[in-house]
Amino acid sequence: MSVHTEVALAGLRLRNPLILASGILGSTASLLVRAGSAGAGAVTTKSITKEPRSGFENPVIYELEYGLLNAIGLANPGMDFFKKELKRAKQLLRIPLIASVAGSRPEEYADLAARAEEAGADAVELNLSCPHVKGMGLDVGHDPKLVREIVEAVKGSVNCPVLAKLSPNVTNIVEVGKAAIDGGADVLVAINTVRAMVIDVDSKKPVLSNKYGGLSGPAIHPIAVRCVYELYEAVGDTVPIIGVGGVMDWRDAVELMLAGARAVGIGTALYTYGLKAFKVILKGIVNYVKEQGFRNLMDITGLAHKYS
Show Cβ contacts of residue 16 under 8 Å, excluding neighbours closer than 6 positions. Answer: 5, 6, 7, 39, 40, 41, 282, 297
Q: Please give the angle made by the CA atoms of 125, 127 and 129, to the nearest 5 degrees.
A: 140
User: Domain 7-55+73-195+217-306 belongs to what topology?
Assistant: TIM Barrel (3.20.20)
**pLDDT attached to residue 222:** 98
Burial class (CB in 10 A: 0-12, 13-18, 19+), 244: buried
The closest alpha carbon to 172, from 221, 220, 230, belongs to: 230
Q: What distances in angstroms separate CA 36 from CA 25, 103, 206, one per listed residue?
A: 11, 27, 37
Residue 20 and residue 30: Cα distance in Å, rounded? 14
Residue 10 and residue 201: Cα distance in Å, rounded? 48
- pTM for the complete prediction? 0.96
Answer yes or no: are the C-beta atoms of 90 and 96 closer than 8 Å: no
C-beta neighbour count of 124 within 10 angstroms: 29
Residue 210 and residue 70: Cα distance in Å, rounded? 9
pLDDT digits (tens, 9 = 90+) for 58-90: 999 999 999 999 999 999 999 999 999 999 999
pLDDT digits (tens, 9 = 90+) for 122-160: 999 999 988 777 787 778 889 999 999 999 999 999 999
Residue 42 and residue 93: Cα distance in Å, rounded? 9
Catalytic residue among 14, 32, 119, 130: 130
Question: Is 130 known to be catalytic?
Answer: yes
Answer whether residue 1 shows pLDDT above 70.
no
pLDDT digits (tens, 9 = 90+) for 218-251: 999 999 999 999 999 999 999 999 999 999 999 9
Q: What percent of the chain has pLDDT over 90?
A: 91
Alpha carbons within 13 A on the beta-carbon side of 133: 25
Answer yes or no: are the C-beta atoms of 140 and 150 closer than 8 Å: yes
**pLDDT attached to residue 137:** 73
Domain ranges of the chain: 7-55+73-195+217-306
C-beta neighbour count of 128 within 10 angstroms: 31
Answer yes or no: are the C-beta atoms of 73 and 67 closer than 8 Å: no
Residue 141 and residue 195: Cα distance in Å, rounded? 14
Q: What values do phi and psi take at 242, rounded to 5?
A: -105, 120
Helix/strand/coil for 298: helix
The per-residue pLDDT of the chain, averaged, comes to 95
